[in-house]
Amino acid sequence: MSELEAREAHFNSVQDAGEELVMRGHPASKAIEAYMATMQTQWSWLLQLTACLETHLRHASTRQRFFAEATECETWMAGGAARLRDEYAKRDRVTLDEGERYLREMHEMRAGMARHEDAIRSLQARARDIVPLPLRRRPLDTPLQVHAICAYKQVHMNVTKDETCTLRDNSQTTKWRVSNSAKQEGMVPAVCFLIPPPDEEAIQKANSLNKQFAQLHTLWREQQRKMKLQMICNHQGCENPGTLKQFMSMEASQREVILAALQEDADKLVAENHGVIDDDMRRLQEEMLYCRELFHTLSTREQARFAEPRH
């Protein structure tokens, strides 16, 4: 369009020169007027075609950007799901430091999920406005409503800008057979028409991304819950003699603080699981009960040992 605007000054100067010749009564005034009229018609048509092309290019760019962003979201979620399944889920036992590191990484992943959730919501909203460009090349099964983005005039048919017409045949690349609102039918340059939204492919892609995100979020919550559960169970160390010895060497008040903290973590984990007691939660509760009973028994023995009279 900028190149045409640059040439507009030259076009106007030619038109001005022609008008001046006609006003002076040039012998070929009739021919000059005919040429000027033809030039004006062709110039106006060229401007309309250029505007149509810019409209189509803008929609093509919007569609390309939409699917590029959708692909990026899809790739990121696939990578996140693979990491959750392949890296975190295969860890049967982790140390406290490892568990804290994994939880930090999962927290960072959750931040990334929040960003991509916003991106997916944006894509879902934008999907409704994507122009279905691939339909321009596909054979028609039934007539299709199209929108005229410029005016077009011919002997037996006229199309006005913004008119809704019916596409009858798009088998030719450059010209379509359409009928206007007055039921007049003819061949019109395809560039004059836009197939209006929505684009079913774009809507399906956005809905698919939303489902993938829901699955990823569920997987993330499950793996985070399992990691926390594993850390609590491992931290209890009920079957580890070294951990028991270290625990029993502490003051009684300190032991109670640790047990209370473990119980609080377990209660939080059950709450995060919405109160659902599955096999993992049941195992956690059983181990917490076992550890409390064991530590109580050991503490009682320890107190009894110190209470015995020394000889």
- Quick check: 59 and 194 in contact, CB under 8 A? yes
- H/E element, 285: helix 279-307
* pLDDT digit string, tens, across residues 10-45: 656 666 666 766 677 778 777 767 766 667 667 777
- On average, the pLDDT of the chain sits at 79
* pLDDT digit string, tens, across residues 6-19: 666 665 666 666 67
Higher-pLDDT residue of 150, 105: 150
pLDDT at 6 (0 to 100) = 66
* pLDDT digit string, tens, across residues 201-215: 999 999 999 999 999
Tokens of 108: 């960072």
Q: Domain residue spans in the chain?
A: 2-127, 134-196, 237-311
Helix axis angle, 279-307 to 200-236, nearest 10°: 20
Mean of pLDDT values over 285-306 = 62
- Quick check: 138 and 123 in contact, CB under 8 A? no
Was domain 134-196 assigned CATH 1.10.1740.10? no
Mean of pLDDT values over 75-87 = 90
Cβ burial of 300 (10 Å; 0-12, 13-18, 19+) is exposed
What are the beta bridge partners of residue 148?
A: 193
Write down how long the chain is: 311
User: Could you tell me which residues come within 8 angstroms of residue 237 by beta carbon, excluding any fewer than 6 positions away?
Assistant: 243, 244, 247
Helix, coil or strand: residue 183: coil
